[in-house]
Chains A and B, each alone.
Chain A
Amino acid sequence: MSTSTPAVSVRALRAGRRRLAANRVVAYGCAAIVALAVLLAVFGPMLAPHDPNASNLSNAFVGPVAGHPLGYDGQGRDLLSRLLTGARTAMLGPFIVVVVSVAVGAALAVIAAWRGGWVDSVVSTVLDILFAFPAILLAILAAAVFGAGLTAPTLALAVAYTPYVARVLRGAALRERARDYIAACEVQGLPAVAIWWRHLVRNLLPLIVAQATLTFGYAMVDFAAISYLGLGVQPPTADWGVMVATGQAGVLQGYPAESLSAGLCVVVVVVAVNLLGERLAERDGEGR
C-alpha cells in the first residue's frame, strides 16, 4: 500500500477496515446459511410437520392457515413439509457431483503435474475434449441413455465439472511440484505416493476446498435445472427443482407460492455458497 499523504492513507485504511468487517459479517452469514442447508439436507425430512406426499385436493392452492404456515401446493400437499423434505435431494445431487469431480479432478491434476511429459499431454487433451460438452447437455444425454433419475445425470454433471476442477488444480500442482521442499522429499527417497498425500495434496487443500465450494454452487443450479426438466429427481418426490416445475401450472393461474418458494431456496443457498467460495478462493490467493 502506498503512503503518499497521511490523510489519504488513514482514509483508505478506514475504508479497508470497514470493508473487511462488512465482508466478515457477510461471510459468517453465508456460512450460517450453508450450515443450515446442510442440516436441512440431513434432518429436513424428519423435521417436516406433515407427510410431504399426503394430498387433499380440496386444499389445493389454499394459503397459509394454522398448522400450515406456508399453505398448500396445487395438489393440496403441505408446502413447508415439501420444502423441508426437498432439501435432501436438492443438496445430495450437487454434493455427489462435487465429491466425484473434485476427487477425480485432483487425482488427474496430481498425476499430470507429477509425471509431466506424455501423461500430462494425454490428460490435458482428454480434459480439453470434455470442455466441448456443456454440463447440461451431457446430463440430458446421460438421462436419455441411462434413464431419468438421480444417478445418471449426477454422474454426467460430475464428468462435466471434472475438467474445470482439474485445470485449476493442475496449474497449482505444477507450481507446487517445482518447489524445493518437494525436491528435498524426493532426494530423501520418500515414495511418490507419500509425497502426494502428506505434502502435495495437503498444501493444495485450501485451493481444493475453494474449488469444491464454487463447484457446488454451479452443480446445484444445473442439478435443479435437470430435475426441473423432468430428467432428474422424479415427481412426486419433493425436490426443489421438481417443485419449481410442478408449481408452474399454479404460476399461470396466479398461485406462484410453490414455484417461487422452491426457487428462492435454491437461490439463497447458491448465493451463500458462491460468496463463501469466492472468499475462500481470495483468502487462498492472499496466502501465496
Chain B
Amino acid sequence: MWRFAARRAAMLAGALLVSSFLIFASLELAPGDPLASLTGGRTLPPEAVEQLRAQYHLDDPFLSRYVHWLGDVFQGELGTSITFREPVSSVIGSRAGVTVELVLYAALLIAVLGVGLGTLAGLRRGRVDASVLVLTSVLAAVPSFVAAIVLLNVFAVNLGWFPALGTGEGLGGTIRHLTLPAIALALSAMAIVVRVTRVAVRTELGREHVQTAVSRGIPYHQVVRRHVLRNAAIPVTTILGITITSLIALSAVVERAFSLDGLGSALVEAALSKDFAVVQGISLVFVAAFIVANTVVDLLYAVLDPRVAMGSRAA
C-alpha cells in the first residue's frame, strides 16, 4: 500500500511539473511578440515595458525563463494582472472561495443524490428503475449552461424561489445563491453516477455469493449492506472521482451563467481580454487541483480494493 502511495506521489509531482511547463509554454506559442501578448495589445509607458521585460526575463533563453517562472510560482508570485490591476495571487485568493464552495456543493449533490437514486433503481426493478433510466439518459446530455438557463427561467424568474445572479451574504445567503448553480453544475454528472451505481448494484445482486446469502436466510438489508453495497462501492468511487474532478473546469461555465465572481469566470474574462498572467495562474490552479484530486481518487480506490495496490490492476 505504501509503495503504491509513493509511486502515485511521484507521478503526481511529474504530472504537475509537465503541466506547469505546458502552461508556461502556451504563452510562448502565442503568435507575435510575447511582450505584446503580455500587454494585451495596449500601449504602456516605457518604464512599465521595462518592468515587464525584467519581470518575465524576456531577454533570457526559454528554459531559464521557465525555471525563473516556476521559482516565482513556488513563492506564490504569479505576476500582475493587466485588467484587474492587482497581483494574480490576490485575484486568485479573493475568488477561490466561491469556486470551492460551488464545486463542493455540487459534489455533495452528486454523491448523495446520485448514489442514492442509483442504489434505489438498482435494488427496485420495475417502474422506479425504468423512470430513473429514462430520466437519466436525457439529463446526462443536458449541458451545464442549458441547465443553468432552464433553472434560471423556472426557479428564479417565474417562481422566484432563488436569486438569479451573484453571491449572497452569510451561510444562508451563500446556500441560497449557490443552490441553482450547484444543481446546474451537478446535473449531468449526477445522471451518469446514477446509471453507473444502478448497474454496479444490479451486477453485485446477481453474484453467486449474494444469492447464496439470501437463500441461507440472512436478512435482506444485511446482505445488501455487507455484500452488495460494499462491492458496488468500487466502480461507484471511480465514477464519483471522475465526475467530481471534471467539475473543476466546468465551474467556469456555470459561474459565467450565474455571474458568480469565481476563478472560472475570471479565467474566461482573462482569456477574452488576453490577460495572460491571470490565464496562466488560474489554469495552473485548475490543473493542479485536477491532478491532486485524481491522485486522491486513485489512493481511495486502493483502500477500497486492496488488489489495486498489489499491482494486479489490468493496464
A interface residue numbers (CB < 8 A to B):
128-129, 132-137, 140-141, 143-146, 148, 217, 221, 224-225, 228-231, 241, 244-245, 247-248, 251-252, 254, 256, 259-260, 263-264, 266-267, 270-271, 274-275
Contact = CB atoms under 8 A, between A and B. Distances in A.
Interface stretch (B71-79, B135-143, B228-236, B304-312): B135-143
Contacts of A135: 249
Interface string B3-19: 00000000000010011
B141 A260 contact: no
19 contacts: A128-B15, A129-B15, A134-B246, A134-B249, A134-B250, A134-B286, A137-B249, A140-B271, A140-B279, A141-B26, A141-B279, A143-B271, A144-B276, A145-B30, A145-B37, A221-B141, A224-B143, A225-B250, A230-B272
Nearest to B31: A146
Contacts of A225: 143-145, 250, 253
B253 A275 contact: no
A256 B27 CA distance: 39
A228 B30 contact: no
A264 to B, nearest CB: 8
The range of chain B's interface size is 35 or more
A244 B250 contact: no
Contacts, number: 131
B274 A260 contact: no
Nearest to A270: B141
Contact of B146 (A133, A136, A244): A244
A275 B137 CA distance: 8
Contacts of A140: 252, 267-268, 271, 279, 283
A238 to B, nearest CB: 17
A178 to B, nearest CB: 14
A274 to B, nearest CB: 6
Contacts of A245: 145
B143 A221 contact: yes
Contacts of A254: 157-158
B290 A132 contact: yes
Task: Determine which residue in A134, A140, A247, A267 has the highest number of CB atoms from chain B within 10 A of its CB, and name it.
Answer: A140
Nearest to A131: B294
A248 B257 contact: yes
Contact of B286 (A128, A137, A145): A137
B224 interface: no
Nearest to A140: B271
A251 B145 contact: no
Interface string B166-196: 0000000000000000000000000000000
B141 A136 contact: no
Contacts of A224: 143, 145
A33 to B, nearest CB: 12
A267 B145 CA distance: 11
A241 B256 CA distance: 14
A65 B163 CA distance: 33
A267 B188 CA distance: 11
Contacts of A252: 152, 157, 164-165
B291 A136 contact: no
Nearest to A253: B157
Nearest to A145: B30
B253 A228 contact: yes
A274 B137 contact: yes
A274 B136 CA distance: 12
Contacts of B153: 251, 256, 259-260
Contacts of A230: 268, 272
Contacts of B149: 244, 247-248, 251, 256, 259-260, 263
A217 B138 CA distance: 12
Contacts of B37: 145
Contacts of B272: 148, 230-231
B70 interface: no
Given A132-B15, A231-B272, A141 B23 contact: yes
B268 A231 contact: yes
Task: Determine which residue in B19, B138, B145, B249 has the highest number of CB atoms from chain A within 10 A of its CB, and name it.
Answer: B145
A252 B249 CA distance: 25
A172 B153 CA distance: 46
B141 A217 contact: yes
A251 B152 contact: yes
Contact of A132 (B152, B271, B291): B291
A7 to B, nearest CB: 18
Interface in B115-165: 137-138, 140-146, 149-150, 152-153, 157-158, 164-165
A127 B168 CA distance: 41
Report, nearest first, the 5 A-B pairs whose CB atoms are least far apart: A263-B146, A134-B249, A144-B271, A270-B141, A137-B249
A126 B163 CA distance: 45
A136 B253 contact: yes
Nearest to A247: B149
B179 to A, nearest CB: 17
A132 B287 CA distance: 7
Contacts of A247: 149
A143 B257 CA distance: 19
A145 B290 contact: no
A221 B253 CA distance: 11
Contacts of A256: 149, 153, 157
Contacts of B23: 141
Nearest to B147: A263
